[in-house]
Amino acid sequence: MSATMISVGGNRNALAAGWRWFRAFRRTRPFWGALWLALGGAVIVNFARSPITMVIGGGWNSSAGYILGGAMVMFAGVALFAPLYRSLVGIVGVLLGLAAFIGANLGGFLVGTLLAILGGSMIWGWGEKRPRRSRGKRTTAEETE
Amino acid sequence: MNASPVAGVRRQRLLVLASLIVFALAALTVPGLQSDEPAQAAVACGSNRASLTTGQGVTMDPCLSEVSTRMVVTRSAPTSSLGCGPFFLRACYETRWTINGIQRGGPFNVKFADGSVRSLYRLTFRNFHASKAAQITTMRMAQGDGGGAQGPIPGYTVKMLPDLNISLGGGAATTYTDLWVTASSWIQADFSVLGVGFDCTETRQVDNALLGFTAIVAVDVNGCAMDLDIAYMVTTPASGGTPNAVNLPNTTLRLDP
């Protein structure tokens, strides 16, 4: 009985720790912008999907979806792990989305392009947030003095 | 992220640089892998055009690749146990293609895009109709003058499966269909012209001497089967004019791996 309670408590602690880690991860990089950009890339790849032999043998028209969509997913990863270069990555993401509109099934029938513009803009405009204060430990001017 | 700020910046810079290089390489090399082949084919074809003259005297200079069209009509099972022909001595088969006239020309030495010269016969059919049992498939021609179907092209084969009977050239007006085929192509048909007679139990290759006697005359040919390895095919209206592209009725296109 007590072992079960310890196990439940341990799981809760692990979940809470995981959530804290994820929140810190999310708040220190352009997470949502990267998510939308990666989703846009996945949509473009999905609509351009064809057997790999045709992709290799079909020239730019066949491979554009994979190259542009794949690059969008890759740069979404770059935005997550190199947030210092968010401005460059955001602009590249938007440009890839626009290029996909011309080169890859209207950018995944517009969905991928719109997600890329949204995600790229969010990455470009992202700014690091201030660390969140813990609840109940509000520091006041008096306390600091 | 816990490392020193300089190391973090350096690592991030490397990551961005590597990503840009990967993207640039992919964008430049992958589409370039295959774009050379059509360009070479176009260049090679410039001076290696075939000179073909239809049965109606129209000369064309098409660019022929080694990829040919193979038209296959398979023979049906015997339709009657009683038999056909004089004294009911030979088997009956379903008529699966018809023409109102036939002429064989050649052999002609025809130049292909790769510079090779192959021997092809010209078959001219008048009002060529085929049943929906006809299958048209892209094939690779055999090397050498003898020709002959080599089998489906490795990779993908385009198959045209007519939903209805084929009428090459289309319409009710008289149309001539010229097919440049390899010597190994063959037909099985019931017809007799100028004392030369075939029936569906016999396979006649296009290079058969008896077919050399055929000319465009008003004769009904009822075919049971054929296997034509076609390098080039045009239709020409009897009223003259430019040869037309081949028109097919409602046709299912299937890409077979």
The complex's ipTM works out to 0.76
Calculate mean pLDDT across residues B19-43: 67
**A31 interfaces chain B, CB cutoff of 8 Å:** no
pLDDT at B254: 62
User: Which residues from B are below 8 Å from A83, CB to CB?
Assistant: 12
**pLDDT of B2 above 50:** no
User: Which residues from B are below 8 Å from A78, CB to CB?
Assistant: 15-16, 19
Here the tokens at position A44 are 């473009």
Angle CA(B183)–CA(B188)–CA(B191) in degrees, nearest 5? 110
Top mean-pLDDT range of A6-10, A119-123, B137-141, B194-198: A119-123
Closest by Cβ to A71, choosing from B9, B11, B23:
B23
Element (H, E) at A107: helix A105-109
Name the band, by pLDDT with cuts 50, 70 and 90, for residue B227.
confident
**A89 interfaces chain B, CB cutoff of 8 Å:** yes
pLDDT per residue rounded down to tens, chain A (145 residues): 455 555 666 778 889 999 999 988 888 899 999 999 999 999 999 888 776 666 666 667 778 888 999 999 999 999 999 999 999 999 999 999 999 998 888 888 899 999 999 999 999 999 877 666 666 555 544 444 3
Cα–Cα distance between B153 and B133 in angstroms, integer? 22
Top mean-pLDDT range of A1-5, A18-22, B76-80, B193-197: A18-22
pLDDT at A143: 45
More confident residue, A88 or B116: A88
**pLDDT of B178 above 80:** yes
**pLDDT of B18 above 80:** yes
DSSP string, A34-97: HHHHHHHHHHHHHHT---HHHHHHS-HHHHHHHHHHHHHHHHHHHHHH-GGGHHHHHHHHHHHH
Q: Are A82 and B33 a contacting pair at CB < 8 A?
A: no
Q: Are A59 and B1 a contacting pair at CB < 8 A?
A: no
**pLDDT of B239 above 50:** yes
